[in-house]
Amino acid sequence: MKYVLAGASGFLGRALARDLVADGHQVLRLVRRAPSAPDELRWDPARGDLDPAALDDPDVLVNLAGANIGRPWTPTYRMTIRESRVRTTSTLAAAATQLDRPPVLITQSGIGGYGTDLGDRILTEDSDLGDGFLADVVRLWEGALEPARAAGCRVAALRTGVVLDRKAPAFQLLSLPFRIGLGGRLGPGTQYFPVVSLIDWVRAVRHVAENDAVNGPVNITLPTPATNNEFTEALATALHRPSFVPVPGPLMQLALGEFAWELLGSKRALPTRLQSTGFAFHHPQVATAISAALT
Ligand code: NDP
């Protein structure tokens, strides 16, 4: 199949592209700079600039572009977070509507769309989106798919938890304190902490791309949701390190601002759509997902 990837230079984009190419698929990478390889095509999502003809009859468009949400959310940076996701998706959607053969259009999205701190409530794709900055971003991000859906494309939004891999910047940051013997739960530890192994994330994206029965939002999180306490214990065990040093919530808020709620807020999400369409996780438990990430 022919895939067009936006955000292909990022951590997730590189992993997906590697897997697709290894299986013989064709990958065209959209870049914002001058192309430096035959499999790159320049676009300018800030201006909505992408030549549909240059995509040359793709089967699947995937948007994994988005400015890093781990930086302080100043008013200007909030705009960057939002626009880097919405404009990339709407540029791809506009191109999709111009193609003779409607492609599948998939965008990354986030589990933060359900809201900030939702306790024990089970979150499936049928749950309402919540309140807060990231929920508003998710509404616009996923809403940008609409023109393509209306034009007959199959569309999907990947509501992804934290993707675990030893090379993932987020996982490196989470595991660093453990490696130096200072690991511990984050905040209360009772909050549900949605994660998935990189291997299962890549498999899930391909399941969505290849399976006509999958439409709309798709949660990509462990089918057995774990709390931060369970994540902490599994990580400490896998690294053969103690986990005695809890990180107080207020300290995290001081250091990370509102982003801290992405780690402190509870989100008990279930991958209902993946499982109801036949997807089987290789790493369904937090311990197996962490072992896979460390391998
Ligand atoms: P990275 O930061 O590794 O990669 C981000 C990608 O987005 C890069 O290819 C970058 O391209 C592109 N990008 C950055 N800023 C802009 C911008 N202003 N306009 C257009 N493109 C831009 O992120 P990940 O690969 O980890 O994640 C990809 C997406 O998935 C992000 O939206 C992220 O929030 C989301 N996500 C990630 C999770 C994770 O655990 N990693 C979990 C849930 C969601 P360039 O090289 O041109 O700068």
pLDDT tens-digit map of 35-69 = 999 999 999 999 999 999 999 999 999 999 999 99
Whole-Å CA distances, 72 to 67, 80, 291 = 12, 12, 31
pLDDT at 211: 98
Token readout for 68 is 């890093």
| Gap between the Cα atoms of 32 and 65, Å rounded | 11
Question: Across residues 229-239, what is the average pLDDT?
Answer: 97
Report how far ligand 1's centroid is from the alpha carbon of 68 (Å).
6
Q: Are 43 and 32 in contact (CB under 8 A)?
A: yes
Q: What is the CATH number of domain 2-164+196-222+268-280?
A: 3.40.50.720
* Token couple for 15: 């992993």
Q: Report the pLDDT value the prediction gives residue 271, as an integer from 0 to 100.
A: 98
Q: How far is the CA of 66 from the centre of ligand 1 (A)?
A: 4
Atom index in ligand 1 nearest the CA of residue 109 equals 44
Distance of CA 108 from the midpoint of ligand 1 (Å): 9
* Ligand 1 nearest atom to the CA of residue 69, by list position: 34
Task: Write out pLDDT tens, residues 153-209.
Answer: 999 999 999 999 999 999 999 999 999 999 999 999 999 999 999 999 999 999 999
Per the listing, tokens 């300290």 go with 251
3-state secondary structure of 218: strand
Distance CA 178, CA 129 (A): 34
Q: Whose CA is nearest to atom 43 of ligand 1?
A: 160
- The pLDDT value given to residue 189: 97
Q: How much is the mean pLDDT over the chain?
A: 97
Q: What is the pLDDT of residue 194?
A: 98
Length of the chain (residues): 295
Tell me what percent of the residues of the chain surpass a pLDDT of 70. 100
Token reading at 187: 């905040």
Which residues line ligand 1 at a C-beta cut-off of 6 Å?
Answer: 7, 9-13, 32, 45, 64-69, 80, 84-85, 88, 108, 110, 160, 162-163, 168, 170
Which amino acid residue places its CA nearest to atom 11 of ligand 1?
Answer: 7
* Per-residue model confidence (pLDDT) at position 45: 98
pLDDT band at 248 (very low <50, low <70, confident <90, very high): very high
- At 134, give phi and psi (nearest 5°): -70, -35
| Complete DSSP assignment for 92-115 | HHHHHHHSSSPPEEEEEEEGGGG-
In contact, 195 and 222? CB cutoff 8 Å: yes
Calculate ∠ Cα 202-203-209, nearest 5°.
Answer: 90
Q: Whose CA is nearest to atom 15 of ligand 1?
A: 67
Mean pLDDT of all residues in 217-240: 98
Residue 75 main-chain phi, psi, to 5 deg: -55, -40
For residue 46, the ligand 1 atom closest to its alpha carbon is 19
Select from 49, 108, 109 the residue to mutate for testing ligand 1; criterion: most ligand atoms less than 8 Å from CB: 108
No. of H helices and E strands in the chain? Answer: 12, 11
Question: Which protein residue has the closest C-alpha to ligand 1 atom 47?
Answer: 32
Residue whose CA is closest, atom 34 of ligand 1?
66
99 neighbors 52 (Cβ within 8 angstroms):
yes
Distance 9 CA to ligand 1 centre (A): 8
Q: Where are the beta strands (DSSP E) in the chain?
A: 2-6, 26-31, 40-42, 60-63, 104-110, 122-123, 155-160, 162-164, 195-197, 216-220, 268-269
Model confidence at 149, in pLDDT bands (50, 70, 90)? very high
Of 290, 180, 189, which is closest to residue 241 (Cα–Cα)? 180
| 32 pLDDT tier (thresholds 50, 70, 90) | very high
CA–centroid distance, 201 to ligand 1, in Å, is 15
What ligand 1 atom has the least distance to the C-alpha of 67? 15
Block residue for tokens 């024990």: 120
